[in-house]
Structure 1
């Protein structure tokens, strides 16, 4: 394909280019009889089974409870699950289920679902001091989905459980002595949309304002600020592969300028897969504490659970930071759409809103007047909730209740896993695939303890420079377009990877997901990348009339 065609595509999101790559890869796979391998999207090919087993079993009990208050079997109508005595009835029912399940149960089948469900409920009651009937009723009424979310921001028990889960998932290595308000939302994507919208509506970010992006970064963070809805100016604070994708003192200097209103990060990175190490965190904490106490920070920590002892900025700079977490990748539940926004109860967002001039205060008063006689007392997190439903529909806001129950059970089952068997197994899956790719490429790579193994950047410029030399790198850059890499992988090898440039990663790179293909596929991908690099070297040698040796 000629250079002009690649230039026309280079303005597109990599997720749009992906569709063309898939067509080419399928066709190439059919011609060559090679397997079609799509490592372009990070949907994991595993699921967390125990919490799901408990969820579906809980639904059966909830239906029995609903029929207790009213039941017309002929019409198929039941009532609503009752509260009083719910825990005693649950305990008796779950014990009967467990006895039935354990007859003929063998060790290889794992933990019986009834035991998981019963243990999770008892664990929560004991750990958090819940009223047993209140908690069981929240579960049964919510999984039935017969009511609007009340409270609308987060169910009472779910917020407490999710808060504790997040302190492990996002702050295992540095837990702050701070309480966060949570807003469960429809996945990390909804969290992004709601936060951008709320920051604009609160006049915390205005058209023409400058924000910094810690790059490489998930593509929508590059694209959303450019929309006319926000019209923000962006600067990139780029972490380089030579620094193991860690922000240096020089990288952070741009944040000293007060014109930079906010810093948006994905940590661990997508696609760099590197979590901020203690030194990088300390540098940023020092900058905020000494020079930029007004800096707003958004940290998207979806992949934190793939780094043991992960430390989020939410734990180190809670007052300045909005935290975003999604359950999708760790629990294999992209279809469930489970995410959460976390904001410390003491935060600069509330302070900044209170400091607005009277003119802006009156505009915000008008926006939220229908919600309360004292709109200036509405907290930032509750404004996020209201804005997510365009204020007028605030009374029907909140994540669906069955989704919140699934979130509750994911959190409880993970907390009960004191040995972190599930976490170790997930990390091992991704690391094994990473090793297969590196071996297939024929290179050596030791990414270090802060690498999450979920994604990776294959930077051909970096590897060609390391193994072949600068002359070859310069020739390739002068004669070949960077999009040639993913297109050649698709057309010649039936493999789909996303172009790294779409994530503000190096131009000559591609993003690979280690989550969604079988282990052996990554050996094939590694060999295909090596073949393309060899072809570039051979083209360089041929251009110089040299004997082809690569």
Structure 2
């Protein structure tokens, strides 16, 4: 066993720690690094990508019609007149290509199932993929928004809110959504320095780190999920939200890293709390919801209290595309809170947004987010780039048109087989339940030791071994990269492994390496006690 001192890394964020772990794991040439530290998937949806590139070829040809007399590669704006007829010809000429076949089906789906104007849709997509104009409207392209609303309704389990009841803001992934939401809540004096916010933990690390920044200075109250309850929130923890001094509750659902969705019972408790705390703001980050069975977002339970964040990055293997949305209901409490501000604060906000509208006091919160995302003065150039919005739409249509849910079922099988392979080689029983999603897994170091070699060995490990040191030793001596659970607000020693970014045999190798590592420590324990 290595005797290197790793204590200097103890205070690093797990995502900064990752680089140091990777450096150690790559320090030897006689093995491969197995990096299960980050959640970037190694799978992706190819059909909507093929459709995107085929649409781009068609759109480029359309653009060239306008300046066909020139030889310098100059095109113009696509023409709406006869566009669908020319697209039909393009379909016939290329009908053997997967992406083109998908585009043809998408036009039918838009017209025959969603009841939208197919001609306007095609024009929006052609102009959008060319990126030849500013995003108009800046919050989200009109028909694109209607399509993504339908996708959100279906995937987030929304039963009591139709597409006319909420707005979407297309953003550069879930990370941009977080930044914009925190900033606008501050700028609009909904959250102020010293305010209490509740954090559902364990949770994606930035939700723990952002409130501490000088920009916000928010006091955190942790709502702790219990591993003994399969990582559900105990009712006693959720009831903390009845404290009127808590302004907001931020959570990731399904959770990161326990990777379980909130149970129906917990959803009912939160709904009951909202009847007593109708002023409580809920922020739910539901990026992993598409991997869950029968998922239901808080946005479907308490739409007027909830800010919904959804990202397309993980499910479609599109982290590099930076695609996400923020959803707010038309009757959201954020708009109400702004109207209830003191006259002095309302005047400050009127001045802030006065360049945008003749009635800045009536500006909706979601439109304030759009403006704030570009420091207000640049609101006229706000919005997610139009090619990004086009790819987002094609991803959503791909999912909605898959009536048999073949893609979804395949992804669930892939990640759950990886989970089984890891724990099988580790030699530890891993129990799933109906709420498990398995995008990540939390390897409980204490329970693993107890399961493999008994309580006395586990007590010895807990007494003399630092969990962060252990992860560095694992990286150094086995080439396996895992992230410390403590960086996500987990209160016991553990490691987070992504089940999305390696192949099944590699997860089996991780389990085998960890088992060998535990065996070496057990030998050390036996030598001490012999």
Tell me what 1:186 maps to: 172
Corresponding position of 1:45: 42
1:93-492 alignment runs, 5 A limit: 93-98=90-95, 101=96, 112-171=98-157, 174=159, 176-177=161-162, 179-289=165-275, 291-492=276-477
CA deviation profile, 1:124-169 (whole Å, cap 9, x unmatched): 1222322232111101111101100001100001000000011122
Taking structure 2 as the reference length, the TM-score comes to 0.96
**Displacement of 1:504 after TM fit?**
0.8
Q: Deviations over 1:327-382 (max 9, x none)?
A: 11100111111111111111111011111110110010111011112111000000
Matched, 1:16 2:2: no
CA distance in 2, matches of 1:243, 1:130: 45
Q: What's the secondary structure of 1:77's corresponding residue?
A: coil
Distance 1:7 1:285, change over 3 A: farther
Q: 1:90 is matched with which residue: 76, 84, 87?
A: 87
Residue pair 1:71, 1:79 contacting (<8 A) in 2 also: no
Distance 1:533 1:240 in 2: 25
8 Å contact from structure 2 (residues 110, 117) kept in 1: no
User: Post-superposition shift, 1:426?
Assistant: 0.8
When residues 308 and 125 of structure 1 are mapped into structure 2, their CA distance, relative to the original with a 3 A threshold, is same
Does residue 1:65 correspond to 2:59, yes or no? no
1:435-464 deviations in Å (ceiling 9; x for gaps) = 000101111112212111111100111333
For residues 114 and 441 of structure 1, the distance between their equivalents in structure 2, rounded to whole angstroms, comes to 46
Q: 1 CA distance for matches of 2:206 and 2:328? A: 21
Cα separation, 2, equivalents of 1:494 and 1:466: 24
State whether structure 2 residue 10 is matched by structure 1 residue 25: no
3-state SS, counterpart of residue 335 of structure 1:
coil
Contact map agreement 2:252 2:285 (CA 8 A) in 1: yes
**Which range moves more in the overlay, 321-330 or 446-455?**
446-455
Q: 1:235 to 1:5 in 2, by over 3 A?
A: farther
Secondary structure at the residue paired with 2:135? coil
SS for the counterpart of 2:38 is: coil
Q: Distance in 1 between matches of 2:333 and 2:6?
A: 44
Is the CA contact 2:6–2:472 (under 8 Å) kept in the aligned structure 1? no
The answer to whether the Cα contact below 8 Å between 1:460 and 1:533 also exists between their aligned partners in 2 is: no
Quote the Cα distance in structure 1 between the aligned partners of 2:471 and 2:68.
59
Total equivalences in the alignment: 529
SS in 2 for 1:422: helix
Tell me, yes or no, if the aligned pair for 1:48 and 1:332 is still in contact at 8 Å: yes
Partners of 1:491 and 1:523 lie apart in 2 by 19
Residue 180 of structure 1: how far off its partner (Å): 1.6
2:42/2:317 contact within 8 Å kept: yes
Q: Distance in 1 between matches of 2:281 and 2:268?
A: 17
State the match for 1:107 in structure 2.
Answer: none
Specify the SS of the correspondent of 1:405.
helix
Q: Could you tell me how far apart the structure 1 residues matched to 2:507 and 2:297 are?
A: 30
Matched, 1:493 2:490: no
Moved more, 73-82 or 457-466: 457-466
The 8 Å contact of residues 313 and 323 in structure 2, kept in 1 or not, is answered as yes
Distance 1:322 1:201, change over 3 A: same
Indicate how the Cα distance of structure 1 residues 244 and 3 shifts in structure 2: closer, same or farther if over 3 A, else same. farther
* CA shift for structure 1 position 467: 5.0
Question: What secondary structure does 2:441 align onto?
Answer: strand
| C-alpha distance in 1 between matches for 2:477 and 2:492 | 21
Residue 532 of structure 1 and its aligned partner are, at CA, apart by 2.8
Using the alignment, how far apart are the partners of 1:447 and 1:255 within structure 2? 28
State the partner residue of 2:51: 54
What TM-score do you get using the length of structure 1 for normalisation? 0.93
Structure 1 unaligned segments of length 5 or more: list them.
Answer: 103-111
1:188–1:339 contact (8 Å) kept in structure 2: yes
Partner secondary structure for residue 326 of structure 2: strand
Distance 1:116 1:362 in 2: 51
Question: Which string of whole-angstrom CA distances, capped at 9 and with x for unpartnered residues, describes residues 47-81 of structure 1?
Answer: 10110111111111111211222234421111110
Which position in structure 2 is the counterpart of 1:105? none
Output the CA distance in 2 between the equivalents of 1:176 and 1:514.
33
CA contact (8 A) 1:262 1:297 kept: yes
Alpha carbons 2:226, 2:234 under 8 Å: kept: no
Q: Could you give the per-residue CA deviations for residues 403-422 of structure 1, whole angstroms, max 9, x where no partner exists? A: 00001111111111000000
1:466 shift after superposition = 4.7
Aligned counterparts of 1:226 and 1:2: Cα–Cα separation in 2:
35
CA distance in 2 between counterparts of 1:443 and 1:199 reads 45
Residues 516 and 437 of structure 1, relative CA distance in 2, 3 Å threshold = same
